[in-house]
Amino acid sequence: PDIKRSMVKNAFGISLIKGIDFDSNGIVLVSDVIRKALEIDVSVLMGANVAKEIANEEFAEATIGAKPKHAKTLKILFQTPYFRIQTVSNPRAVELCGALKNVVALGAGFCDGLGLGNNTKAAIIRIGLIEMARVIEQVTGRFPTEILVESCGVADLITTCYGGRNRKCAEAWVRNPEKNWDTIEKEMLNGQSLQGTLTCLELNKVLKTYGENVNEKYPLFKNIYDIAFQGAPASSIVEGLVAEEELNER
């Protein structure tokens, strides 16, 4: 592409795009697409970053996943007194957090739509975080313990499950059983896309390509898929939580 011809030698990139793609071989990261097309090293920035609050210069953190040789430069480039950067060395894990949190947010929205309280919602967030880490392990080969307590991990997940648009739409979807996802998206998001349902749908397909019985490894994610796309009642969200707990005790 033109960008590639215009690049200086030794150029490197950073992706701020929150989302992943899928093909027949499994999960495709946006940063991998850029890496391949431009033949450069690509880092990523993710975190608990509601855009409007950053525009108001309210304090926020973000995580940059970058190779060590680029981490310092990127931190200097992005950090301001109210926008604080932490760097970690695993960009693909950081990027996966930014997409998978939106699936957990659907579960949080179902919980809100059912009128359940803080205990249940905290359980969904907690177990969602564990399943996110397990998908990351499946894709990158390593369980990302250190990422879970970064802004791109637990913090972004909390923000998304309390304030995000995926949560909001999932709540409305449970409360208005006559409407489908497309209608909800059109009515509520003003042209923005409902990433959680897309990711949920594709994730369910793609996890199977990693091996047999892989759905058993993600009972909450499977349960969210069954509610969103297979007609399971929203109240069955609890079954995914219980199945995950039992999995952890085996």
Q: Where on the chain is the footprint of a copy of itself (CB under 8 A)?
A: 48-50, 52-54, 56, 58-61, 82, 84, 86, 116-123, 125-126, 129-130, 145, 148-151, 154-156, 158-159, 162-163, 238, 241-242, 245, 248-249
Q: What residues contact 87, with CB distance under 8 A and at least 6 apart?
A: 63, 64, 65, 66, 71, 72, 74, 75
The candidate with the shortest Cα–Cα distance to 169, out of 207, 130, 112, 224, is 112
d(CA 250, CA 247): 6
Q: How far is CA 36 from CA 40, 41, 42, in A?
A: 8, 9, 10
In angstroms, what is the minimal distance from the CB of 71 to a copy of itself? 11
d(CA 9, CA 97): 31
In angstroms, what is the minimal distance from the CB of 154 to a copy of itself? 6
Q: Which of 4, 36, 67, 101 is catalytic?
A: 101
Q: How far is CA 122 from CA 73, 94, 125, 175, in A?
A: 37, 22, 5, 21
101 as an active site residue: the answer is yes
In angstroms, what is the minimal distance from the CB of 245 to a copy of itself? 6
b/e sequence 93-116, b meaning 16+ C-beta within 10 Å: bbbbbbbbbbbbbbbbbbbbbbeb
Residue with tokens 């091996």: 211
Contact between residue 136 and residue 96 where contact means Cβ atoms under 8 Å apart: yes
Residue 9 or 250 with smaller CB distance to a copy of itself: 250
Q: What does the DSSP 8-state code read for residue 8?
A: P
Q: Treating both helix axes as pointing N-terminal to C-terminal, what angle do 219-229 and 237-249 enclose, rounded to 10 degrees? A: 160
In angstroms, what is the minimal distance from the CB of 36 to a copy of itself? 32
In angstroms, what is the minimal distance from the CB of 179 to a copy of itself? 25
Residue numbers annotated as active site: 101
